[in-house]
Each structure stands twice: as C-alpha cells, then as structure tokens.
Amino acid sequence: MLRSVILAASRSTRVERLVATAPFSRDVVRRFVAGAGTDDALRVTRALVGDGLAVTLDHLGEDTVTPEQANATRDEYLTLLRSLAAAGLTPAAEVSVKLSALGQAFDEHLASDNARAICAAAAEAGTTVTLDMEDHTTTDSTLDVLTDLRKDFPSTGAVLQAYLRRTESDCRELASAGSRVRLCKGAYKEPESVAYQSPREVDKSYIRCMNILMSGEGYPMLATHDPRLIAIGEDRARWFDRGADGFEFQMLYGIRPEEQARLVGEGYTVRTYVPYGDDWYGYLMRRLAERPANLAFFARAVASRK
C-alpha cells in the first residue's frame, strides 16, 4: 500500500516540485546520489575503487521527451567515459544506461544509435555498458536493442527483473557464454498479469532465476541487498565453483555499505551502482518505496530541519 502511494508520487510533477525544492532533500539525496556533476561521480568512484569495490555509474535521467535531451544524455556518458579512462578508473568502473534517457519512448532507433555510441566509447575507454531495465512495456524493445548491440559489443550487460513472470525464460535465453546478466527483483509498479505481486513469490522467482544463471555459461551479476538471497548466492557460488571472476554481487550506493565491504573481504567481486546528476527524483522515490526504513531516514531529515 505504502509502496503504491510512493510509486504514484514518483510520477507526480506536483510532488516532485515539492520534494525537489525542500531544503531537507539535499541531505537525503546525498546519501544515495554521488552529486550533480562528472567530478562528483569521479570522486565517489575513486573512493569506492580504493576500497576494493567495482563500480557502475548511472547518469540520472529517464523519460526523455526530445531528441536534444536524448543526445545530451549520450554526450554526458561520452564525457564520463573519457574522464574515467583518463583517471585510470577503467575497467573497475563501467556505466549503466537507461534507454528511456536516450529517447526510447519516442524513437527507438535514436535510443539504439545513442546506446551504440556509448558502447563504442566504453570499448575505447577499456570498459563496458549495462542496459538498465525499466517498466515491462519496454522489456522487449530493450532486449532487442541489447541483441543488436551485442553483435559488435558482446560484453554489453543485460538486466532481468525477477518479479516478471517471463524472466525465468529470459534467463534461459541469456545464460550463454560471455553473457553478462544482472538479476534484480524489479523496481516498478507492475500489474498482476505480468508480474508476481507478493514478496515471497518474487523471492522464489529470484532464486529460480539465480539457479539458471549460476549454473549456466554466462556471467551472473546478483543485484540485491536481501541477506537471504546473498547467502543463497554465496552458496551457489561454492556449488558451481564460481570465484571472484565468475560472477559478482551488486548493490546500490548508500545501501548496506558494511555488507558490501564484508563481501569484498570474503574475496567476492562487488559492484556498487552509483547514480549522479540533477535528475534524482524518480530514482530516490523508487528507493523510498522499497524500504520503510528509508522513509524513516527521510522523515528524520525533515524533522531535523524544522
């Protein structure tokens, strides 16, 4: 119920204006977002890489509505990739890209061309790209673009969402040699016709999908903060004899940093997903929807500024 309200608020421009201009928002945002500019992204990446973590950087922004915005997002990624390479932060850092930020909603070809330009820049910088997955109406289009990109850039990563009923079958399709696949629970509000609704069903689906990926030929990227799923991931890594270069855990910046450090200490590869940029509203609202404790953190920040 609370999750639905927050996800509805994430699409309201009125609530967005209210939250974006509130003085307390700065502190809350800083916990989950590296900062506004490329310099902030580099600073946070340098610190995380220094702590033994790998990184994937996301330039915040989604639901782009003009070609100019889409091309500006592409250019931001090109600048970022050049800066990461110049700073010696590749291949430890890669980038995560949302096709909606590159124009997918109004021109799939433009989004695909922009994604291709980013993949080329990533290859030049000695790193790679993962295509984030958005709501279920975009899944087929995103997987089509992925298939196309992989012809020239085979290391381009896919994301599959365990809450979708189709995902087990997608995992089977994508568990092939060299295929990098991020498995997450899924962050959007989806109808029952396409997605499991109860946390228990989603968790069971996650485990089935994890089994397919970890026993397959590809490179699984287990994106979750869930202690039970992480423990099962560790178990499957032992069972299928996957070491630090055979799979990775992924978590979001600002969420369970001690657990990220513990896993690094155990010898696992752990990648932190670091968002940066001005357009943090949709991202922040999805994080709040996931966990009431994040909402309490938000409320405390509000109270402390009163």
Ligand X SMILES: Cc1cc2nc3c(=O)[nH]c(=O)nc-3n(C[C@H](O)[C@H](O)[C@H](O)COP(=O)(O)OP(=O)(O)OC[C@H]3O[C@@H](n4cnc5c(N)ncnc54)[C@H](O)[C@@H]3O)c2cc1C
Give catalytic residues, as residue numbers. 132, 182
For residues 126 and 227, which CB has a smaller minimum distance to ligand X in the complex? 227
Choose one: 30-38, 108-116, 164-172, 222-230; the region binding ligand X (CB under 6 A). Answer: 222-230
Cβ atoms 59, 52 nearer than 8 A: no
Going across the sheet that includes 180-184, the strands are 129-131, 93-97, 54-59, 270-276, 248-252, 219-223, 180-184, 158-161
Residues counted in the chain: 306
Interacting residue with ligand X among 273, 276, 280, 281 (CB under 6 A)? 273
Relative to beta strand 270-276, strand 248-252 is parallel
Q: What is the smallest separation between the CB atom of 210 and ligand X, expressed in angstroms?
A: 11
The position carrying tokens 């639901």 is 63
Q: How much helix, strand and coil, in percent to the nearest 5, is found in the chain?
A: 55, 15, 30
Distance CA 91, CA 88 (A): 8
Decide if residue 181 touches ligand X (CB under 6 A): no
Decide if residue 227 touches ligand X (CB under 6 A): yes
Q: Exposed (0-12), middle (13-18) or buried (19+): which is 52, by Cβ within 10 Å?
A: middle
Interacting residue with ligand X among 150, 185, 236, 242 (CB under 6 A)? 185
Decide if residue 77 touches ligand X (CB under 6 A): no
Relative to beta strand 54-59, strand 270-276 is parallel
> What are the residues whose beta carbons fall under 8 Å from the beta carbon of 282, sequence distance 6 or more?
10, 62, 63
Decide if residue 74 touches ligand X (CB under 6 A): no
Decide if residue 11 touches ligand X (CB under 6 A): no
Decide if residue 290 touches ligand X (CB under 6 A): yes
The position carrying tokens 């970022």 is 80
Interacting residue with ligand X among 64, 127, 250, 260 (CB under 6 A)? 250
For residues 186 and 277, which CB has a smaller minimum distance to ligand X in the complex? 186
Choose one: 9-17, 35-43, 115-123, 246-254; the region binding ligand X (CB under 6 A). Answer: 246-254
Tokens read off for 52: 């033994």
Choose one: 66-74, 118-126, 240-248, 286-294; the region binding ligand X (CB under 6 A). Answer: 286-294
For residues 61 and 186, which CB has a smaller minimum distance to ligand X in the complex? 186
Distance CA 43, CA 151 (A): 33
Interacting residue with ligand X among 62, 76, 94, 132 (CB under 6 A)? 132
Q: What is the smallest separation between the CB atom of 21 and ligand X, expressed in angstroms?
A: 25
Binding site for ligand X (CB under 6 A): 132-133, 159, 161, 184-188, 223-227, 250-252, 255-256, 273, 290-291, 294
